[in-house]
Amino acid sequence: PKVSLEYSELIEALPVDKVDGNFVRTVKNCIFSKSIPTPLKGPLRLAAVSKDAIEGILDLDMSVTQSDDFLHYVSGARLLPGSVPLAHRYGGHQVKMFFEGGLGGRWCDGGFTVVTPKGSDGRAVIRSSVREFLCSEAMHFLGVPTSRAASLIVSEEPVLRDQFYNGNVKTERGAVVLRLARSWFRIGSLEVLSQSGEIDLLRKLLNFVIGEHFPFITPHDPEKYLVFFSTVVNETAHLIAQWASVGFAHGVCNTDNFSLLSITIDYGPFGFMESYNPNFVPNTSDDEGRYSIGAQANVGLFNLEKLLVALSPVLTETQQKQARIILKGYGNIYQMRIHQIFKAKLGLLGDDEDDNYLITVLLRMMEDTESDFTMTFRELSEISAKRFLNRNFTQVELEMWALDDLSRHERFSDWLSNYLLRLKTGRSSSDWIKCFTDVNPRYVLRNWIAESAIRKAEKNDFSEVELLHHILSSPFVTQETAEEAGYAARPPQWARRLKVSCSS
């Protein structure tokens, strides 16, 4: 989607802090603060660029990315003519379920954003920037609503980081990702206003967000805030179901990381689940497993409850009761969407009362055998009907390694017979193979794959970043270079030792 609002209009519509200057402070009665970015120290290098984002979203010719102006504009070294850099004010409920009202914000230069949390130098480093650049684009091509990444720029500027918060500080190099989204407003954007009693400003921001991004809601409708809430509830349920469909765990599902537009934002300690495990936790800092992949739907409900609390001052008592009824329907929306998605992943057309049984038993077998999530579904979609009928997995162990793992389960044979009977109803084998190879990716950004690219990038070799960007732009298509690199092969043993944190 094209950007529909000039930043001059944004500033006119929403108040900016009257205090100038880049220093830590508590702000009130505003949505933004002016914040002049501190340029990265050169020399700068364009390490990666998304042609799809540059041309399709920014409507620019790719040739502009080769200019020095591009490097300086998107890294914050220069400001675009007429632009005003802004830091957005928001808060949010954190991993321990407490509310933090001073999380800082993001400076925005004509739509360009860089994380600047309170009390830090605001710098990203190569490892976190590579991960965000690649995963933003990978999620888009998987069909999951997400912010996008247009470019990755690295510098020689030294940045001190304690990656795992264990006192092991080391020097890394600064980097910046040009991130794109229709909006960066999140649940925490509303929470901070509601918590501080700035209700008129809360109403103003809501009206702005609704007017810009929810055009089907009539501005003068007395129920508009209720309709807005209902829409966010529905779309959040759908988004988290889509995360589950590709085995994606966000890692930090705080309310300040949940978009009001229900798109995936703020890629930090994310992870794509390998061995199927509902307790999979990608974030080494999340020692309680609050944001495990199996808990994401419930965390979504928690965050929506906090959204309702934030909206309560602008809702009538009757509307608050209706909103609570809407919220009670969240679980059903999520379950219905999950059921639809996993039926599609298994190629099941139409309705059958045993479909839920097939899905549930398969996932239980995958958990028991620690079968790979992505490749089990992919291989089910690739293997021929003849091989299914022969149930001969020993001959395809190397190319069908995930199914070979699954086939060792004692219930597999019975499940397979039931699945084949259901699968062949009303169509040929070629029909169902084509049907669900388009919904089961062969390649996702596994942490070990990202780590391999990061290690090279930190030595100024961005060849694997470029290769991964290309491969992950077509995740459903078997690609020779990806197969040669082992991206669809059994993960290496060292991958199990990998850890990521909020700094990753």
Please name every residue paired with 446 in a beta bridge, in sequence order, or none if there are none. Answer: none
| pLDDT at residue 370 in the model | 97
- Other Cβ atoms less than 10 A from the Cβ of 385: the count is 15
CA separation for the pair 425, 350 (Å, rounded): 10
| pLDDT at residue 1 in the model | 24
| pLDDT at residue 54 in the model | 96
CA triple 134-370-352, angle to 5 deg: 90
Catalytic positions are: 256
Which residues neighbour 358 within 8 Å (Cβ) at sequence distance 6 or greater?
346, 348, 415, 418, 419, 422
Q: Beta-strand (E) ranges in 301-406?
A: none
Which residues neighbour 242 within 8 Å (Cβ) at sequence distance 6 or greater?
143, 144, 145, 341
Cβ density class 116-146: b for 16+ within 10 Å, e for less: beeeeebbbbbbbbbbbbbbbbbbbbbebbb
Which residues neighbour 222 within 8 Å (Cβ) at sequence distance 6 or greater?
none
| pLDDT at residue 76 in the model | 83
Tell me the one-letter amino acid at 158: P
| pLDDT at residue 265 in the model | 96
Cα dihedral across residues 186, 307, 19, 23: positive or negative: negative
Residues lower than pLDDT 50 in the chain: 1-6, 96, 105-122, 394-398
CA separation for the pair 471, 432 (Å, rounded): 25
Tell me the one-letter amino acid at 474: S
CA separation for the pair 115, 109 (Å, rounded): 12
| pLDDT at residue 468 in the model | 98
Please name every residue paired with 29 in a beta bridge, in sequence order, or none if there are none. Answer: none
Please name every residue paired with 211 in a beta bridge, in sequence order, or none if there are none. Answer: none
CA separation for the pair 425, 431 (Å, rounded): 11
Write down the pTM of the prediction. Answer: 0.90
The pLDDT tens digits of the residues spanning 225-260 come to: 999 999 999 999 999 999 999 999 999 999 999 999
| pLDDT at residue 117 in the model | 35
| pLDDT at residue 121 in the model | 42
| pLDDT at residue 175 in the model | 92
DSSP 480-500: HHHHHHTTTSPPPGGGGG--B
Which residues neighbour 398 within 8 Å (Cβ) at sequence distance 6 or greater?
none
The pLDDT tens digits of the residues spanning 458-487 come to: 999 999 999 999 999 999 999 999 999 999
80, burial (CB in 10 Å: exposed 0-12, middle 13-18, buried 19+): middle
What are all long-range contacts of 355-362, with beta carbons under 8 Å and residues at least 24 apart?
A: 355/422, 357/418, 358/415, 358/418, 358/419, 358/422, 361/411, 361/415, 362/415, 362/419
Tokens found for residue 74: 């998107």
